[in-house]
Amino acid sequence: MDLDSLVKTALANGASDLHLEAGLPPALRIRGALRTLGDPLPGQFLLEVARGLVSGEQWSRFEVQRSFDLSRTIQGTRCRINILHTARGVGLAIRLLASFQATVDSLNLHPDLKKLVAQPHGLILVSGPTGSGKSSTLAGLIQEINLTDARHIVTIESPIEYTFRPRRSFIRQREVGRDTPSFEQALLDALREDPDVIMVGEMRDPQTMRLTLNASETGHLVLATVHSASCAEALQRIISNFPAEIQSSVSAQVADCLLAVISQRLRFRQDLNIRVPECEILMGTHAIKNFIRNGDFFKIASAIETGAEHGMWSFQRYRSWVDNRSQWSMPGQQPDAEPAAEEEARVEVPNRILANAGSTKPETRPLPKPSAPATKTTERIEIEPVESEFGKILKRPGEKT
């Protein structure tokens, strides 16, 4: 028995999580319920598995912190792994991430969420308890931008869960601990990296929250997650993390930059044999922003109930929409195909660039001839997707060759 076979078994059973603990049988979380499988695992086996996942330098850090986060692709599935010390020895908590490219449609979310990421700047919060699909929703929103708009996206995660293949956008993914020492440093760096969109995997402390709010105020679209059970609680959680003497200024800052809060949970549908998200959606209207500035969070729930015309959804109304929905995206039916609107392009590389690269015989790749003359120039940057690298940034359409 090895880690690959355990993950393979978990995938075959449709599990979302795999828990390994010395002296206990493997535990699978299937449709939200925990089930054990097989014989107890020896502590030495789990220690060897952990040593195989964590390198020598990182192992020293694990011995000090007694826990370590990483991500790996096992059996063709992206896995988020937490290695931890327990009373029995070394244990592992493994989250099995969806193998398809997450989008709003493939996650069975409401299509109105696509409108949120069309905004040029502001703050979008995705909240919910652990295991409610926050990371998947965040990845789906980022992918919507990637498929439709030419923007520079910087993601800051611990660890990286979903890997993005650049389509229309230019995407940089940074993992805390590997590519940057902390969320704080990565956010400070991001402000000097000319991003259009910043994704913060999790806001854990006041400094990260402060820098996230600052980024959303300075002309960037920022997406972040926070643990909470409702939209109002998510906002309260952020503001209450700061000292009392500055909470009023933080409340004003949140109100100024807020676009929306999405609070979600998962419900198992027996008829579909899948778990589907149910959301509460809060939009940053003038009334909501006034409630935030004045600390009237208790008024937000009633505002959501009466705010349908502004695109707000209560859990109850959203569940009614889910129950009346007839078309569903099922696992295994989401091919990662090129979007229909995306045109494959070829670039002619200038001689001076090839000369600097040491090439003696410049090669050119002609652009395909358009079927009709262009009537309008755009500022959209095309990117040629390449499996092993980002590809080359192409010239803006409309420029003379």
d(CA 66, CA 184): 22
Asked whether the predicted pLDDT for residue 350 surpasses 60, the reply is: no
Confidence at residue 78, expressed as pLDDT on a 0 to 100 scale: 86
d(CA 248, CA 242): 10
Q: What does the pLDDT average to over 269-290?
A: 92
Q: How many CB atoms lie within 10 A of CB 68?
A: 20
Asked whether the predicted pLDDT for residue 73 surpasses 60, the reply is: yes
d(CA 146, CA 377): 20
Q: Residue 203: CB partners within 8 Å, gap ≥ 6?
A: 183, 209, 212, 224, 225, 226, 238
Asked whether the predicted pLDDT for residue 352 surpasses 60, the reply is: no
d(CA 35, CA 25): 10
Q: What percent of the chain is predicted at pLDDT more than 70?
A: 82
Would you give the distance in Å from CA 142 to the centre of its chain? Answer: 7
Instruction: Quickly state the pLDDT bin for 333 (edges 50, 70, 90).
Output: low
Burial class (CB within 10 angstroms; exposed 0-12, middle 13-18, buried 19+) of 245: exposed
Nearest to 158 by CA among 127, 179, 133, 132: 179
Instruction: Quickly state the pLDDT bin for 99 (edges 50, 70, 90).
Output: low
d(CA 4, CA 17): 14
Nearest to 202 by CA among 229, 178, 219, 184: 184
Q: 154-187: b or e for each residue (b if 16 or more CB lie within 10 Å)?
A: bbbbbbbbbebebbbbbbbbbbbeeebebbbebb
Q: What percent of the chain is predicted at pLDDT more than 90?
A: 61
Q: Residue 12: CB partners within 8 Å, gap ≥ 6?
A: none
Q: What does the pLDDT average to over 39-61?
A: 90
Which domains are present in the chain? 11-96 (3.30.450.90), 113-324 (3.40.50.300)
More confident residue, 401 or 5: 5
Confidence at residue 372, expressed as pLDDT on a 0 to 100 scale: 47
Q: For the chain, what is the mean pLDDT? A: 83
Asked whether the predicted pLDDT for residue 139 surpasses 70, the reply is: yes
Q: How many Cα atoms within 13 Å fall on the side-chain side of residue 299?
A: 10
| Tens digits of residue pLDDT in 200-211 | 998 888 999 999
d(CA 161, CA 174): 11
Confidence at residue 357, expressed as pLDDT on a 0 to 100 scale: 42
Q: Which of 120-124, 245-249, 267-271 has the lowest mean pLDDT?
A: 267-271
More confident residue, 107 or 330: 107
Give the angle 330-159-51 at the CA atoms, nearest 5°: 110
152-157 and 274-283 as β-strands: parallel, antiparallel, unpaired? Answer: unpaired
| Tens digits of residue pLDDT in 353-400 | 334 444 444 444 444 444 444 444 344 444 444 444 444 444 445 544
Q: What does the pLDDT average to over 240-254?
A: 94
Confidence at residue 56, expressed as pLDDT on a 0 to 100 scale: 79
